[in-house]
A and B are shown apart, each in its own frame.
Chain A
Amino acid sequence: MKAAAPQSVRWLWTALSILLIVGLAAYVNFVLTGSYDPLVAVFNIPGSAFFILVTATEVTFAYRARGLFEPAEPMHTTWTLILLSACCRLSGAAFTQALSAPISWNFLVIVKLLQPERPQVLHSIGVILTGPAAMALLAAGLMRVLVLKRRLGILGGLTLVDKSFIAAILVFTVRQLMDIGGVLLGNRAELTVTQVVLWFSDPLLALLLIQAVSIRRSVLNMGQGLVARCWGMMALGVAFTSAGDVVLWAETHGFIPVVISPLGWFIWFFAVTAFASAPCYQVQAAREAHEGSYAVRMTHG
């Protein structure tokens, strides 16, 4: 029997649905009129607010999930890593979505401190925090979960399809490393620190995807328990992040028509909602552990 989703998760996905309805209305307007203005407004105002608020929710619930475990327990360290990853994403979202953007509700705009050269620097800091920094911490946390699941015998074996998918990810990563090698052998004078740090994003994302495949298989084997769904949501977050990355790559290389490219931007809202839902399930599992009792007295015979 499938347990009901926690109320916090229902709120998160309801908020996402409302944002998607508003966003799709703006997208239809873009298709009909060709004007980007309403679409940009949706992403700049409710979209940015959604990113920051949902990631703040993730930080709050990850902190609570971490508090459920004693410091000596393996999952305490795991949730500490996930909490730090969420903090990186929150601060990164604040830098990229709010502080570096010339929008009316930006605090730096209000106090007139957003000088012309600052947005790029703030944006770079935000991108590094949401990218390699958050990914490295999350990968470390998920690796600990996989090790623990394996130790307890609930990981389950990968299927041929899973292994083929992982092989494809590895081939893609090697291909990207070769591209990086090509850049390093060419003109290195134009390289920036941000670019070099961001090179770690793709290998880290590949590692996260491999972990997500293993976790997905484990969730399929385990069933629909609250703990299984917690890690399933984490894997879903990684999958959406990868999908968003692929869309960005395809958009940059001109593989996606201009008229449908804005639809790909919405993937990031799904990713952030999935990441925030994961600790909600963990907290709900602990809550249900403490709730209720088996009140019916045993009758003999």
Chain B
Amino acid sequence: MTWMQRLRARLEQRRATAAPAPLPDEPDGVTLTSPAELERLLTVWTRRWTRSRGKESDAQWGVARARVEAELRRFFGQGTLQRVQGACRGAPGGGGSLLLAADRLFVAFLGTRATMAVTRKLYSNLQ
């Protein structure tokens, strides 16, 4: 089982077991200072992306997705970006998978602190 399949299974499991509204709808207000907060923020955004609620939300995600892709390209190169895009294309909750895949790469090769800094930038000024 590849990591992408495991990720997909986790996403499916998370979607199935998720409580209706334990997490805030305003992730931009979260101050990232610990890995737990990073995970919490990513969970919020992944859910929003998965649900894809309405046109306005899609536009926000278009910006967020472009930013994630730019950061992936900057740190890991065009080839990695294409590989991650390819792996996430067919995945359920596609954009959310891209977000999590990018986060895994950032945490592994840049460290948690740098990832929190990148994530703060990625989701700044988004609603």
The chain A residues found within 8 Å of chain B, CB to CB, are 1, 3, 68-70, 73-75, 148, 151-154, 220-228, 285-286, 288-290, 292-298, 300-301
Contact = CB atoms under 8 A, between A and B. Distances in A.
B122 interface: yes
A34 to B, nearest CB: 49
Contacts of B56: 300-301
Contact of A298 (B2, B117, B126): B126
B121 interface: yes
A226 B113 CA distance: 17
Contacts of B63: 298
Interface stretch (B8-16, B17-25, B42-50, B76-84): B76-84
Given A68-B111, A225-B80, A152 B125 contact: no
The 7 A-B pairs with the shortest beta carbon distances in the complex, nearest first, are: A223-B77, A225-B77, A289-B114, A223-B79, A223-B78, A225-B76, A222-B77
Contacts of A68: 110-111, 113-114
B19 to A, nearest CB: 28
29 contacts: A1-B73, A68-B111, A68-B113, A69-B112, A75-B109, A151-B3, A152-B104, A153-B2, A154-B76, A154-B80, A221-B80, A221-B83, A223-B76, A223-B77, A224-B78, A225-B76, A225-B77, A225-B80, A227-B109, A228-B76, A285-B109, A285-B114, A286-B110, A286-B113, A288-B74, A289-B106, A289-B110, A294-B67, A298-B126
Nearest to B7: A153
Contacts of A297: 125
Contact of A300 (B59, B72, B75, B110): B59
Interface string B32-72: 00000000000000000000000010011001000100001
B87 interface: yes
B23 to A, nearest CB: 21
A228 B75 CA distance: 7
Contacts of B113: 68, 70, 286
Contacts of B60: 298
Given A151-B3, A293-B124, A228 B80 contact: yes
B63 to A, nearest CB: 5
A227 B67 CA distance: 18
Given A154-B105, A221-B83, A73 B111 contact: yes
Given A75-B111, A294-B122, A153 B4 contact: yes
A155 to B, nearest CB: 10
Contact of A296 (B105, B109, B117, B125): B125
Nearest to A296: B125
Choose among A73, A151, A220, A289 the residue with the greatest number of B CB atoms under 10 Å from its CB: A289
Contacts of A221: 79-80, 83
Interface string B97-108: 000000011111
A293 B121 contact: yes
Nearest to A228: B77
B75 A74 contact: no
A222 B2 CA distance: 18
B57 to A, nearest CB: 10
A220 B40 CA distance: 34
Contacts of B2: 153
A285 B122 contact: no
Contacts of B31: none
Given A148-B108, A225-B80, A300-B56, 17 more contacts: A70-B111, A152-B105, A152-B108, A154-B76, A154-B80, A223-B79, A223-B81, A225-B72, A225-B75, A225-B76, A226-B75, A288-B74, A290-B117, A292-B121, A293-B124, A298-B126, A301-B59
